[in-house]
Structure 1
């Protein structure tokens, strides 16, 4: 496993000069609604070679681009790939007009309708589960009932948590799925979110860049690192705010 380093250390290396720099979102660029240190410098250094590749399943690329612009981070929607949106777009390509039991926040609900997917929780062809902070206990019961009935599941991402603004774990889509499988142990789901390499490969195709000419920066070896390895992309592990970076670890070791 690579040692975590600060974003400033990465910026002082040749890494940002790669043909494409892929970056995770939560814990790397943002912490809640706070822009993390040196991120504006990253955008200035990389320009249109920077791509956001995230397991976010609340936003669409368009709604996230608007939010980032408000925070002073001008990344266009065309260079943002999100697990929730990509799940719906993949589903539309594979099964146009499918009847979908969609458990997701408003941006994905709107996108699903725009893509021609038909919302149906009574007799769905399949179920899509994303992160929705407004999910109720009744919704959970409905998801469990559909899983018990054998309805195929597309899980937008398997993450159990993502780091909140103060580092506190925030429940993610994988935590919801853990509750479902606790009730229906035989339930299975398909996901293109990291650690699967799908999002990274799509970013590389859009950028027209070979894996060897790209680098991916993320804060979670189990998802970001595994996805990078599967896609054949070099991986840089960033230290989360407040966590010891490599140089700190080295100084501590030398003082012992």
Structure 2
């Protein structure tokens, strides 16, 4: 199903509505004109499932509320936070973390030691401060410890349709230096976050709304969900690594 705008009637039969964030509900921190009505009509059925890796669900919920979009943190799944939780479950608490201050604080609240000289794992999120001097140390660490990448998106669209660099752009640079680099990512197209949002619900009773077939669409297929492709006018699809 392809649409150019959000319309709650398209998801009226779904018991749970999973929705991407950037390019669907907001862009560059601003909501689209149809977002508030869509969120209100979906109500408690709506969950955000996003590859965002520079904030937390609590902070994002507060930010959305300031924009007139009411989505509680318990119904928001973000790739950066999910990655931290998965790594914590593995017991790898000495972590080299390249992320925004909000994610670094979240990691420390979870008990991670982000300053240990011998990390057990590394996590790369969307980090505007990540510079050329960080490439070598991270690649050297990745030879001995598992590398996690929050998501593989190269970019997401601005409100005017221009690309905004994402975590996958940093990963692409690392792969250019070391083509055999190995990593794992909980972000879409991995269906992990979708299955977490579904819980025990039958996937056939839900729907996923996203703007990128290469990540959102693939994740929906892998999780067994119907997919509503939102392709907003004058807004290009997000790039993704294959």
With the shorter chain as reference, the TM-score category is over 0.9
Deviates more, 1:56-65 or 1:134-143: 134-143
For 2:116 and 2:140, locate their aligned partners in 1 and report how far apart those are by CA, in whole Å: 11
* Partner of residue 240, structure 2: none
CA deviation digits over 1:75-100, x for unaligned, max 9? 1000000000000011111215x211
| TM-score where L is the length of structure 2 | 0.92
* Partner of residue 145, structure 1: 140
* Partner of residue 135, structure 1: 130
| TM-score where L is the length of structure 1 | 0.87
- Runs of 4 or more consecutive aligned structure 1 residues displaced over 6 Å after TM superposition: none
1:74 has 2:70 as partner: yes
Deviates more, 1:214-223 or 1:65-74: 65-74
Structure 2 counterpart of 1:120, from 105, 115, 118? 115
Structure having the larger proportion of residues in helix: 1
Q: Unpaired runs of 5+ in structure 1?
A: 245-256
For 2:22 and 2:190, locate their aligned partners in 1 and report how far apart those are by CA, in whole Å: 18
Q: Which is greater in Rg?
A: 1
CA deviation digits over 1:100-148, x for unaligned, max 9? 100000111011111111113631111100001122222233323323x
- Contact 1:27/1:241, CA 8 A, preserved across alignment: no
RMSD: 1.6
* Partner of residue 52, structure 1: 48
**Aligned with 1:119: secondary structure?**
coil
**Aligned with 1:44: secondary structure?**
helix
Structure 2 counterpart of 1:210, from 202, 207, 228? 202
Q: Unpaired runs of 5+ in structure 2?
A: 237-242
**Aligned with 2:12: secondary structure?**
helix
- Contact 2:40/2:70, CA 8 A, preserved across alignment: no
* Equivalenced residues, count: 236
